[in-house]
Amino acid sequence: MADAARNRSRGTVFPKGGRVSLTPIKYGVTRNTNASTAEKRVAIKLLETNMKKMKERFMKTKVPDHVLRKINHLLNHPRNKNIIFKGRSYKVNIDGASRVYTGLKPKLKALFWPDTEDDPFKRDPNDLKRRPPLDMPKGSKFKRTCKLSGKAHGELVHKQVYKFVKKFTNKHTPVKIPLNSDPCTIHILNLFVKKGWIPVVSELDIFHEGWVIASSIDIIVLDLATFELILLETKTGHTEEEYGEHPTDKKLRAPLDDVVNCPKNRHMVQVVAMCLMLRDKYGILMDQAKIIRPVSRLRGAFIVPLPKWAIEGKNGKPPAAPYNINRSLTANAKS
């Protein structure tokens, strides 16, 4: 993925400057992505057409200069050349010395929820039964619409979205969506159309030498209505349990012991940490940050906005709980 992090603005749909002149266009959104092959072909063709219109419209749009500077600063930051994700580890080069950095998620888990296992295949079955989805009728059964599940499913969706964004941001590449795309991938792209979000970059590797931690940002999009940059974290798991707070949940470890230990809040901590990495080491403050949660059994992708404590933490306003994330990770790296 390192090659995708270098010189991203060359030959892309993002110009070097210009003025704003855009009225967002609403396109139809395809919903029936779990239908027969013939119906799915029609649905994906419609989605391709809508994405193509968005791309063409955006390429004719004059984006504010300060937004373009922010995008190009992100895509061509010198630090992008100093990190590479290979195999399942990050290698960071600082002053000619290469070092393996720990991923963000395992470090956060060790600090704030060491007794909680996110992988459903490693979880105690009784723990999943303890917190069923609150929106599902008692006794109802799950109906899977994706071929894969668990970590393999998440990796497939991330890979498909990454390939699409890479082609979409190249002005010379036509918009194509493979027929065998996972339903959750289709739901995410449909959400882009519905919200008027232009993909800027996917799987952007970043690092924080003070924390000795690296991570990959799933997607960054540009909102066509507001010209805000939005960091999106895609989460495909936890569909067979309550994603938000459950009455039986406990709290995270101190200093986040006022935050309930549930999948949503654990993911919020991760998003806030990535925003802090961008702010402190790249000089980029995200306008917004959200979680995208595609749930194929509900036939859609849903936006999970950041709560107040996470927004304050993203912007680095103490004494909000996420401010302690920075302090905890820094202290842990020095210990």
Report how far residue 175's alpha carbon sits from residue 111's, in angstroms, rounded to the nearest whole number. 42
Q: Are 201 and 165 in contact (CB under 8 A)?
A: yes
Q: What is the pLDDT of residue 173?
A: 85
Q: What is the pLDDT of residue 277?
A: 94
Place of tokens 């955006």: 58
Q: What is the pLDDT of residues 57-99, one digit of tens each?
A: 888 888 899 999 999 999 999 999 999 998 778 999 998 899 9
In this prediction, residue 316 has a pLDDT band, given cuts at 50, 70 and 90, of low
For the chain, percent of residues with pLDDT exceeding 90? 41
Least confident of 13-17, 211-215, 221-225, 261-265: 13-17
Residues in the chain, overall count: 335
296 burial via Cβ count (<10 Å: 0-12, 13-18, 19+): buried
Long-range contacts of 80-87 (CB under 8 A, 24+ apart): 80/5, 80/6, 80/8, 80/204, 80/205, 81/2, 81/5, 81/6, 82/207, 83/2, 83/5, 83/205, 83/206, 83/207, 83/214, 84/1, 84/2, 84/205, 85/1, 85/2, 85/205, 85/214, 85/216, 86/2
Mean pLDDT of 286-307: 84
Amino acid letter, 93: N
**Angle of helix 183-195 versus helix 150-168 axis, rounded to 10:** 40
Question: Could you tell me which of 299, 70, 321 has the C-alpha nearest to residue 183?
Answer: 299
Is pLDDT larger for residue 135 or for residue 196? 196
Q: Are 296 and 184 in contact (CB under 8 A)?
A: yes
Pairing of strands 288-295, 300-305: antiparallel
SS3 content of the chain, % helix, strand, coil (to 5): 40, 20, 40
For the chain, percent of residues with pLDDT exceeding 70? 81
In this prediction, residue 327 has a pLDDT band, given cuts at 50, 70 and 90, of confident
Q: What is the pLDDT of residue 175?
A: 87
Question: Could you tell me which of 326, 330, 236 has the C-alpha nearest to residue 274?
Answer: 326
Mean pLDDT of 145-171: 85
Distances in whole angstroms, Cα of residue 36 to Cα of each of 32, 33, 144, 252: 9, 9, 15, 44
Mean pLDDT of 177-199: 90
Report how far residue 183's alpha carbon sits from residue 148's, in angstroms, rounded to the nearest whole number. 11
Q: Are 301 and 260 in contact (CB under 8 A)?
A: no
List, in sequence order, every beta strand (DSSP E) within the chain.
Answer: 83-86, 89-94, 97-103, 197-208, 213-223, 229-234, 288-295, 300-305
Least confident of 51-60, 75-84, 111-120, 314-323: 314-323
This prediction's pTM: 0.86
Task: Give the phi and the psi of residue 146 in degrees, each rounded to 5.
Answer: -105, 145
In this prediction, residue 124 has a pLDDT band, given cuts at 50, 70 and 90, of confident
Mean pLDDT of 171-188: 88
pLDDT(20) > 70: no
pLDDT(253) > 50: yes
Q: Which three-class secondary structure state does DSSP give residue 193?
A: helix
Mean pLDDT of 274-287: 93
